[in-house]
Amino acid sequence: MDTQEYIVNMGPQHPIAHGSLRLVLRLDGETVVEVTPAPGYVHRGIEKMCESLNYRQIIHLTDRMDYLSALMNNWLVSKTVEKAAGIAVNPRIEAIRTLMAELQRLQSHVLWWGVGGMDLGAFTPFLYGFREREIIGTLFEETIGARLTMNYIQPGGLMYDILPDFAKKVKDILAYLKRIIVEYDTLLSGNVILQERLRNIGILDPKKGIALGCTGPVIRASGVPYDLRKLEPYGTYAQAEFDVVVGTRGDCWDRYYVRIEEMRQSIRIIEQLIDNIPEGPHMVTKFGAKIKVPEGIYYGHIETARGVLGVTIVSDGKSDTPYRIHFRSPNFNNLWAVTALAPGWRIADLIAIQSSLDLVIPDIDR
Amino acid sequence: MALEPAAAKREKADRPAVQVPPDKLAALALRLRDEPALAFDLLLDHTAIDWIAENRFELVYVLYSTVHGHYLMLTTSVPRETPVVPTLSAVWPIAHWQEREVYDLMGVQYDDHPDLRRLFLEDEWQGHPLRKDYKDDYMLGLPK
Amino acid sequence: MGLVTDRLPRVVEHIPGGGILITSIDALINWSRRNSLWPLAFGTKCCAIEMLMATGAPHQDLSRFGAEVARQSPRQADFMVVAGAIIKKMAPRVRLLYEQMAEPRYVIATGSCAISGGPFMYNSYTIVRGVDEVVPVDVYVPGCPPRPEAFFYGLMMLQKMIWEGESIARVGRRRKPVMAALPQGIKPEDFRDEVRRLLESENDINVDEAAASKIWLKKVDEWMAKHLLKP
């Protein structure tokens, strides 16, 4: 029988697009021969916009790239600017930043679990995942004022101080979440259909993964223990004891389970740090003071929920706006892995691979 | 520096940074990846800076070694009128994607790139937006 | 459905008391339409998490309004929630989705990016300043991102508009309840002319005309002629 390859467009508006991602698939029947991502449907030109804003004003734009790790994005730019300009922050600020980042990581992984279940056809995890997200989001809203786009961690400190009962509320949330992760395992992880759909699909070889620029849970599932919180501790991560979760085979199941275990590790980190928040002011520089960065190229990076987010700030030493700023976005680099992982699998497997890479599309396009 | 006599230390960076001329770039990249003492296997970032006052583009590569844990920032300068560099997508596959972005937004040409076309913007877009002399009637500036 | 909207009004208006029949049918049709609006799951950016996903979630429940059945295909959807920034590359696709929806169709623009370009209004070279340059918008929900409760208020306003403003006697035309609240320092004289114009123009909207008179429409038509309608 004569067969013919045909090209199908999984266009910008699609149930599993997670935003507006376009994939051009070359199919032979139902088997994927080649996947070409065509991004750019949410490209707003953030890097050009940042060249006309000063170092405090670019924080609100970093929220809107990978909005599920908004606080970590803010922390990255604040930390790089502080190191470049020579501003030292006190231990209270570092402790609160670390706690907020880990809570945000929990929130992001919980949403990934919910949406991942929905992609594979199970709608119930979506409702469970968002229920947990609301609980953490309420805590953020009391402290910061916003649920999604935070603009909280500024160069020089934090926008607002935490409330006195912050520690108690966080402990209640952790007690609740520990039970919930067990519930997630019971609900979805042990399900035989999920295991059949995820085991041995889309295996990523560790050397190839590094050559393709993958970072975060994607590369950790293939066995490479590349976690910036352990390798170059920032904030107060050095004071907490936690494990770097590493997978063995690098298939979709490993990528799935690495994130579930990371949730447990995040809970462990928060438990160790929540009682020892030192006293002090929440902002070391005067709010509204100009921040000037000396001339040079500065590169800083942080471990977000999806991988290594990096920023290259180039300053010409003359003004208080960056001359050029470039974000190394984890999703941009992880997306390229789908061209290496998908060929040879069916379309349903492509969806499982895509959901296990956990992409947020505005971060790809910036 | 011991490897490559044409390389010079780049001042004013927060990590070890080296500057090379563009014709030595491809050979140096291969050696950086393959020598066991260096083993730079992860190309974290690749970007370009438009130094319009000095009439050049500066291309920056941030490299990391997962084996040894050290960083290197590799920079090279090309003239603004004819920005041509060899591609590094044979050395680090992720460079394919990152170079397309730099071509799209800055207009730097890469020799022997497998698929050099625009990534984010439409194919018919005129100009390269991240250049400092990019003029566009559509953009709205901040009001005074 | 077509029989009721095409033939019935003309037949009935000659009968004395026929207006009552039309208003009762209107009440039934509008009530059933507004209580089961099915959104099109189309979100580009951060607002999609809050407006489309968090509203469908247990804490803020969209199914109280009959709207939790988010359809993936525009052919099956009643209204489109534009959640997120629309850029030039995406604008023709938004228009295409709008045109694929079956009438009567509504658009809610949520978030400041969809209303006016939002944080990206200045110095961005790709943003479309407001999705109302591409499709006619019925309700604007401000915020960045708006709270889910704000979105529900917008949805309730849309329901009110359907309940009060549509009739089978005038198909394709709708009336919008334009409610204004006076900000600090603004006197009524400042905007009296603008309000008069707004009330007169929004009092009776011909939806097809509004859809055909958008600033971006010519560019979208060129794109469609070039990419879709090739021989």
* A312 reaches B (C-beta below 8 A): yes
Q: What average pLDDT score do residues C2-19 get?
A: 71
Dump pLDDT digits (tens) for A328-355. 999 988 888 888 888 889 888 888 888 8
Q: Are residues C105 and C182 in the same domain?
A: yes
DSSP secondary structure string for all residues of B71-120 = EEEEEEEEESSS-EEE--TTTSTTHHHHHHHHHHHH--EEET-TT---SS
| Nearest-Cα residue of chain B relative to residue A335 | B97
In contact, C151 and C158? CB cutoff 8 Å: no
Contact A45 B129 (CB under 8 A): yes
CA angle A190-A194-A198, nearest 5°?
A: 115
Q: What average pLDDT score do residues B88-95 get?
A: 87
pLDDT band at B9, cuts 50/70/90?
low
User: Which of C121, C125, C129 is closest, CB to CB, to B136?
Assistant: C125
User: Which of C89, C97, C125 is closest, CB to CB, to A48?
Assistant: C125
Q: Are residues C44 and C107 in the same domain?
A: yes
- Which residue, among B21, B24, B19, B25, has the nearest Cα to B1 in the 3D structure? B19
Contact A299 B41 (CB under 8 A): no
Q: Tell whether omega for the bond before A278 is within 30 degrees of 0, i.e. cis.
A: no
Provide the pairing of β-strand C139-141 with C106-110.
parallel
Query: What pLDDT score was predicted for residue C185?
Result: 66
Contact B122 C89 (CB under 8 A): yes
Regions of chain A short of the pLDDT cut 50 = none
Report chain A residues whose CB lies below 8 A from the CB of B13: 296-299
- ipTM exceeding the 0.85 mark: yes
Q: Are residues C152 and C193 in the same domain?
A: yes
Contact A44 C43 (CB under 8 A): no
Q: Cα distance from A363 to chain B (closest Cα, Å)?
A: 12
Report chain C residues whose CB lies below 8 A from the CB of B133: none
Contact C57 A11 (CB under 8 A): no
Q: Is residue B126 part of a domain?
A: no
Dump pLDDT digits (tens) for B112-129. 888 888 888 888 888 888
Contact B12 A295 (CB under 8 A): yes
Which are the contacts of A71, defined by CB distance < 8 A and separation ≥ 6?
A: A97, A100, A101, A104, A150, A152, A153
CATH code of the domain in which C121 resides: 3.40.50.12280
pLDDT band at B144, cuts 50/70/90?
low
User: Which of B10, B15, B93 is closest, CB to CB, to A299?
Assistant: B15
Query: What pLDDT score was predicted for residue C181?
Result: 43
Q: Cα distance from C221 to chain B (closest Cα, Å)?
A: 16
User: Which of A14, A49, A361 is closest, CB to CB, to C124?
Assistant: A49
Dump pLDDT digits (tens) for B32-91. 888 888 888 888 889 899 888 888 888 989 888 888 888 888 888 888 888 888 888 888
Phi, psi torsion values for C130, nearest 5 degrees? 105, 130
Q: How many domains does chain C have?
A: 2
- Rounded to 10 deg, the angle between the A347-357 and A91-119 helix axes is 170
pLDDT band at C212, cuts 50/70/90?
confident
Q: Which of residues 62-91 of A touch C (CB under 8 A)?
A: 63-64, 67-68
Dump pLDDT digits (tens) for C110-152. 989 898 888 888 888 888 888 888 999 888 899 888 888 889 9
* C117 reaches A (C-beta below 8 A): no
Q: Which two tokens stand for residue A248?
A: 């063995």
Report chain B residues whose CB lies below 8 A from the CB of C126: 121
Q: Which of residues 13-72 of A touch B (CB under 8 A)?
A: 39-40, 43, 45, 47-48, 52
In contact, C51 and C111? CB cutoff 8 Å: yes
Contact B14 A297 (CB under 8 A): yes
Domain that holds residue B12: 8-111
- Does the structure show a pLDDT above 50 at C179? no
**Where does residue A154 rank: exposed (0-12), middle (13-18), buried (19+ CB within 10 A)?**
buried
- Does the structure show a pLDDT above 80 at C12? no
- Which residue, among C196, C168, C199, C229, has the nearest Cα to C19 in the 3D structure? C168
Q: Is residue B137 part of a domain?
A: no
d(CA B105, CA C179): 44
The single-letter DSSP state of residue C51 is I
Report chain C residues whose CB lies below 8 A from the CB of A117: none
CATH code of the domain in which B100 resides: 3.30.460.80
Dump pLDDT digits (tens) for A13-29. 777 657 788 889 898 88
| Nearest-Cα residue of chain A relative to residue B49 | A324
Query: What pLDDT score was predicted for residue A175?
Result: 92
Report chain C residues whose CB lies below 8 A from the CB of B129: 125
Q: How many domains does chain B have?
A: 1
Q: Are residues C157 and C219 in the same domain?
A: yes
Q: Are residues C163 and C212 in the same domain?
A: yes
Distances (CA, A) of C81 to B52, C42, C107, C152: 43, 7, 6, 12
Of A222-231, B21-30, B99-108, C144-153, the one with minimum mean pLDDT is B21-30
Contact C90 A15 (CB under 8 A): no
**Where does residue C118 rank: exposed (0-12), middle (13-18), buried (19+ CB within 10 A)?**
buried
Q: How many CA atoms lie within 13 A of A248 on its CB side?
A: 2
Other Cβ atoms less than 10 A from the Cβ of B37: the count is 8
Q: What average pLDDT score do residues C166-177 get?
A: 74
Q: Tell whether omega for the bond before C145 is within 30 degrees of 0, i.e. cis.
A: yes
Query: What pLDDT score was predicted for residue A104?
Result: 92
User: Which of A13, A19, A49 is closest, CB to CB, to C120?
Assistant: A49
Amino acid at A258: V
Contact C123 B122 (CB under 8 A): no
Q: Are residues C127 and C156 in the same domain?
A: yes
- Does the structure show a pLDDT above 70 at C34? yes
Domains assigned to chain A? 6-365 (1.10.645.10)
Provide the pairing of β-strand C173-174 with C205-206.
antiparallel
- Does the structure show a pLDDT above 50 at C11? yes
Domain that holds residue C157: 37-227
Other Cβ atoms less than 10 A from the Cβ of C87: the count is 26
Query: What pLDDT score was predicted for residue B4?
Result: 59
In contact, B75 and B60? CB cutoff 8 Å: yes
More confident residue, B60 or C204: B60
Query: What pLDDT score was predicted for residue B1?
Result: 47
Report chain B residues whose CB lies below 8 A from the CB of C125: 129, 134, 136, 138-139
In contact, C80 and C98? CB cutoff 8 Å: yes
